[in-house]
Structure 1
Amino acid sequence: MSRHHNSAGRGEDAQPDDGAPGSTDRGTISRRQMLNTVGVGLGVMAVGTSGASGQTSGQYPGMDAPDGYRVPAYSEGPRCLYLNDFGGEGDNPQGLIHFLQYVDYLRVEGICSTQPIPSTDEIHKQIDMYEEHYENYRTHSDFPTPDELRDITYSAASSTQSGSTPSGLSETAERIIERAHADEEDPLYVCVGGSMTEVAQALHEDPSIKDSIRVTSVGTWNTDQDPAARDYVYNEHPDLWWVESDSAYAGTWTAEDEAGVDSCGYMEEHVHGVGALGDYWATIEPCCMGQGCWQTGDFYTYAILLHGDPDDPTSPSWGGRWQPTDHGPNYWTDLSGTTIGKWADDYFADFARRLEWGVTVGIQDD
């Protein structure tokens, strides 16, 4: 029997979903164009509306989350592989900094590079920064050692898929197959913020993994860079469990809401300078906005696992809510970016708390 997770205890969706379903045009909208389309962070972005946390509407709470507030609230999280072109636009290294704060909870089966920047250099660079603070992290939770993370770092195919059918098998694709079969009753989430070539290769080599994997991915620019692989997966594997975003992921983009609350200022106050990874965040200039802001749209691909019910993409989660389609029984796509942005108070606060773990000593068990 597949393991099912209960909700992390924050109750029903805190507000109605806003906006019409997002565009599903494939690979035609750049991230800069998307920002202009939806407005920076979807305008008000509905921040601060998750009343269950007891936080004030429209205010980023900083380090003032209630005592005992820990997200996620599961004892251990889902299995996942995180795939991205980590050396690409600023949102990609940002996403990895954020992801590393949750490797105690997520059962990470791999951190994998993809095209168009397949190098693992960025992954190793950040693991080195993580190592600087590992002794503190481990006093707060069961964080893996830096070497354990290095041992599950994998590279991408040398190029994206060129024909209608995948060819070759990268080490990341091999890892997807291996870990899919490692525990066939416990789903493996393949969280893709970059190219789909590795997923296409794995499915082509071993279609039986569809019974064990669940894919979350960002389309738009990534689709434009790797259309053959994306179309192969879409057309040849319509029964694949897959949440694909072409617009709603932009609900994570933030600058300033109508109340004048500046999330760039929030990052400057609560993230910049907090350990080696916080120092690094401050140097990153994401596309579309200023230096050191929050631009990590790819966050949705694994945030769906951090808070909510990852078995049900139509239910509320930090990674948003998603609508079913007539493409297949297990394919969901964009509903509204506000279904992600509405949780900004919560996921900003939890990120800041966890980043702080790297520079503070927690309570150690005897």
Structure 2
Amino acid sequence: MRKLILFLLSCMSFVALAAQRPVPVKPRILVSTDIGGSDPDDNQSMAHLLMYSDRFAIEGLVSSPSYGNGSKQEILRMIDLYEKDLPKLKQRESKLATPQYLRSVTKQGKHGNAPYAGYTKATEGSEWIIKCAKKKSTQPLWILGWGGLEDVAQALHDAPEIQSKIRVYWIGGPNKKWSANSYAYITKNFPSLWFIEVNASYYGFFSNNNTLDSIKTTDYYDQYIQGAGHLGKDFRSYYKGEVKMGDTPSLLYMMDGDPNDPTRESWGGSFEKFRYSPHVVFNRVTDVNDTVAFCSVVEFHFKGPSINIPADSICFWMETTYKNVVQKWPGYYLGNGEYGIKYAPKQAEVLSYNFSSDIEGFSLPQGKLVVTNLWPGKHNADDYKLGDNWYTDKSDPQLYDGKIQGGKTITKWRKDVLLDWAKRWQWLK
């Protein structure tokens, strides 16, 4: 029976690889992740990265938790599991990265999101980004963003000359909500950066809205992972083994075809250029007559009492509710009686919010905001103008997977991807 399973997986892998395009050169990558934070899909994606480490020149693994308790230690824990499985993996693939090397490039970035300015001070992670970007190489350093942009923004602030040496594939969406200040800093000050902003397409990797293949994310563990080494046992700890892996499309993009052409079809999606990033400024509390696109940077400015605290200090909060949980977003004192906050709604809805503060004389009513389901939506006077190398989810309605913009550009390849990975899981059995 075992020989039959191996034969079938070998056949399935051949089919999967037939759909995979050659990559011109092994890409240099640095992964910025909030692993260990509030969303355990990063652990699933880290397992995928480690098991395919032969496909990349991994130059950094940076812990960048803009929200939650993610840490460098969680990356190291995953490397420990990988080390236990490596003897079996290397029987089939000798070029996998060594645990010793991976530990040497694992760095701690910023804990928590950046203030209104979008940056604060250097971290081990941001300094490592600069060091890697400045290496002499004929190819760029690809930064794969699985969490916030705090360390990327800090690196660009401290060494703006690296802008031409890096390329970013960023899983935005919810991460943008937590990292709105750093995102705004980058778009405003580095419009010539080479950047793929994925706010929706990545959902297609784990969506079962309109299943286009025979692979379901809900039973993949039982069929292909169960009993597969230490990484396999650990995989069951996240979502009870259901495949989420919202960050994995960044890896898939680097594994399939020429990454210098984001408009091509690839395992990690297909994208289109966009020339502006929506940025809407309100000098008041909004109501249901105000509409923005999801993932827009919505900025509120208010007049209030002049107080004696440093500019960029947190002094009020915006409160929203998500799945019956109250979430609080920090607002800042800008000086001279000016207050400001940036917020990026992650989904289409009628958003209700309210503000709270301990400052006497600073009181605001509750507000509402209508969020639409088409990114980047209509132009606004305060939009961030972008250069020639910004790309994002395709807007063609035929490529929506349910409500997921561009979702089908990734969903269509899921069977190929997961069957290819099934072969490597089999190596551990």
Please report how far the alpha carbon of residue 165 of structure 1 lies from its aligned counterpart in structure 2 after TM superposition. Answer: 4.5
More strand, by proportion: 2
Map 1:59-74 onto structure 2 (within 5 A). 64-67=11-14, 70=17, 73-74=22-23
Native 8 Å contact 2:271 2:391 kept in 1: yes
1:282 to 221, 226, 236: 236
- Root-mean-square deviation (CA, aligned residues, Å) is 2.1
Q: For residues 108 and 136 of structure 2, what CA distance do their matches in structure 1 show?
A: 23
Name the counterpart of 1:334.
393
1:113 to 63, 81, 90: 63
CA deviations over 1:223-279 (Å, ceiling 9, x no partner): 111211011111111100000011111111134727775332223110122111111
Name the counterpart of 2:267.
318
Secondary structure of 2:29's aligned partner: strand
Map 1:184-199 onto structure 2 (within 5 A). 184-199=137-152
Q: Point out which structure has higher relative CO (alpha carbons under 8 A, 6+ apart).
A: 1
CA deviations over 1:105-141 (Å, ceiling 9, x no partner): 1100011111123411221111111111212222322
Q: For residues 242 and 60 of structure 2, what CA distance do their matches in structure 1 show?
A: 27
Map 1:22-171 onto structure 2 (within 5 A). 64-67=11-14, 70=17, 73-74=22-23, 77-88=26-37, 89-115=39-65, 116=67, 117-141=69-93, 142-171=95-124
Name the counterpart of 2:224.
270
Provide structure 1 residue ranges, at least 5 long, that are not aligned to the other structure. 1-60, 286-290, 360-366
Native 8 Å contact 1:267 1:294 kept in 2: yes
The change in CA–CA distance for 1:154 and 1:259 in structure 2 (over 3 A counts) is closer
Name the counterpart of 1:238.
191
Please report how far the alpha carbon of residue 312 of structure 1 lies from its aligned counterpart in structure 2 after TM superposition. Answer: 0.6
Native 8 Å contact 1:63 1:352 kept in 2: no
Q: Which runs of 4+ in 1 moved over 6 A?
A: none
Letter in 2 for 1:65: M
Q: For residues 262 and 230 of structure 1, what CA distance do their matches in structure 2 show?
A: 34
Provide structure 2 residue ranges, at least 5 long, that are not aligned to the other structure. 1-7, 276-385, 395-405
Native 8 Å contact 1:78 1:107 kept in 2: yes
Secondary structure of 1:81's aligned partner: strand
Please report how far the alpha carbon of residue 354 of structure 1 lies from its aligned counterpart in structure 2 after TM superposition. Answer: 2.0
Native 8 Å contact 2:80 2:99 kept in 1: yes
Provide the TM-score with structure 2 as the length reference.
0.65
Secondary structure of 2:114's aligned partner: coil
Provide the TM-score with structure 1 as the length reference.
0.75
Q: Percent identity between the aligned chains?
A: 30
The change in CA–CA distance for 1:140 and 1:226 in structure 2 (over 3 A counts) is same
Name the counterpart of 2:422.
352
The change in CA–CA distance for 1:259 and 1:317 in structure 2 (over 3 A counts) is closer
Letter in 1 for 2:179: D
Secondary structure of 2:91's aligned partner: helix
Q: For residues 259 and 105 of structure 1, what CA distance do their matches in structure 2 show?
A: 26
Q: For residues 357 and 72 of structure 1, what CA distance do their matches in structure 2 show?
A: 23
